[in-house]
Chain A
Amino acid sequence: MTSATTVPPAADAAAAGGRARAERAGHLLQQHGALIVLVLVGAVSAVAFPDFAGGANLANLAVAASFTAMIAVGMTFVIITGGIDLSVGSQFALGGVLAAWASQYGWVPALLLPLAVCGTFGLVQGTIIARTGMAPFIVTLAGLLGARGLMLAISDEGADTYLVKSAAFARLGQGTLLGLAYPVYAALALFALGGLLLRRARFGQYVFALGGAADSARLMGVPVARVTAAVYVLTGLLAGLAGALNAARLSSGVTILGTGMELDVIAAVVIGGTLLTGGAGALSGTLAGVLLLGVIQNVINQIGSLTSAYQQVVSGAFLAVVVVVQRYLSRVQRLS
């Protein structure tokens, strides 16, 4: 056999060693970058603003972040498959209005109706994406408009505000345990369940395989269409649930909520280290990303002189930095 290679093996191995170290460091930063920044920002805020670390403020922060957090669990799955779901903000508003309306029949319908409607909505979107191969961006953009239109239709263009009629249902959003509101526990439970589903269930493996190499996944027997549809059902269910619990907290279905929320959710997931190109990501990162955005918002509220509009400027700048760093890290880790 003649060989076509003349690179000395020793030099090769040394280069590979250095590369492996860089890769590992890149991987670490990718996965836990958001957590590191969260701890830093949190520590600085605690020193700079005496009110920040107070129990009441942190409890508020947690509740405010919990709704984004629930949806972000589903969005992490969607983005790992290489997709995107722009309709979650509209579904969140739709879920809230449906829940408030249904609360006149008790807390069970108030919880189940938004789940059923938004879950179905997600199923339709997911099926279209999986069966027609249309870009998730386009399909869920249509979904964004459609879901908000549906919400406006049932609330008479926002003129009818449904108040929550069931005290039991209102308690789901307003009740507290150890100083934290119930939705916070719901979000944490969903992260735990989502983590099991993603890392320890076969479905999670399929999600990673699909996003990492769709053609290979198909050849390896992954039911590509079903998995694709399922992740959009998941975001639909979670957006509906978050909308319902938020309505319970506010005691009414507020029609103007959720506009632009999908972008906050996506930003949190991406800041948390999930690759927009798919195939890699973790829920721990998403949780850190959600909290980081929550802390930024909270801190800007503490600086009385800045209007809340600056919160978006800071979040946007943050996202830009993260995306640039991700691109660099992907190259170091040779992901792309």
Chain B
Amino acid sequence: MTETIAHPPESAGPGNKPVPPAESSRGPVTWLPTLVETLAAIVIALVLGALLVALSDPDTVETLPYLFSYPADFFSAAFDAVWSSYSALVQGSVGSWNRISTTLERSAPLICAGLGVSLAFRAGLFNIGAQGQMAVGFLVAGFIGFTYDLPPGLHTLVALAGGILGGALWGGIAGFLKARTGAHEVITTIMLNYLAVSILLYALGKEAFQREGSDNRQSPPVADSATFGSVADTHLGVLLAFAAAVGVWWLLERSTIGFEMRAVGANPEASRTAGMNVAKVFTLAMVVAGALAGLAGTMQVLGDQASISPTLAGTIGFDAITVALLGRATPLGTVLAGLLFGALSVGGVAMQASAGTPKELAAVLQALIVLFVAAPALVRGLTRQRATGGGSTVMAKGWGG
């Protein structure tokens, strides 16, 4: 009811003539506040993380009892702990080309799965199912990868297509159920996650998916001919992730299908009235979202000649939700958030390895960043930014459907 606060009424503006079109409303001005907020959130999270590092460092804790007699001890110990952790974090994630390449490879599946979640968000769907869609994706891609003997290149393409189709199918089921029966996608995607894990375990219990002479739940590694090639020690899946981001951007912003998805996501009633087939849009959005998650799963096996195992996806499918939220459901934002999370994950390992910082710290940093992004008012309060109005959370819609 107070829209006038954020948007001064136009007709009271100068003259009766329409104001000349201001290109600026699509330009940096609209997303700058969110960028500042996001950066502020990251900084605050790092500060709190530093506090945790200091307080979990035994040498620092040792100085606490005589903090007031010798405060310098505490501060130098705390500084050393924080410095060694954070420099390990930075060194370990972007310190050399080798590290950057690892970070890129780690980010690629996060970006792809995150794009799937983002795209579904834009269509008004809360896709919790990236984890299951990934699992189906790498199951299919991996199976093709280690079972068949095809020429290099072709083998990769077939396995890649299989993985993407597998994910698309898995996402599409949730979309179809939503379109046909109105079943809420949050429920169905969660159930499909369980189902995918069960199928994965079942498959890995079968001879066809196991290594010869072994009963372990681990498949043979995919054939050389099926793996992604690599350039400068970085597998080409990374390029696929960036290409996927551009593709999703084009789809959302430049295509009729994306127009429909965004319209349905923002106002399904008006979209229906304008002649759009809302059910079809829901299904299609979930198919594409699933395909992107399937691509993420494919990278897990074709990236560096891996084998399928029950925990291959780790928590990427769920981290993807966070990545999408942090990226405000835009392709560029998702790429940046995915890179950040990839760097935190790779740097987190370096923190453990060299500074002995528990792996939980990297997870805590991620959680804090998201927490502060989700609570922009809190960040504004902490950094004393002025309220900019026009909130930009993407959550609200997802649960509405």
Say whether A and B bind each other: no
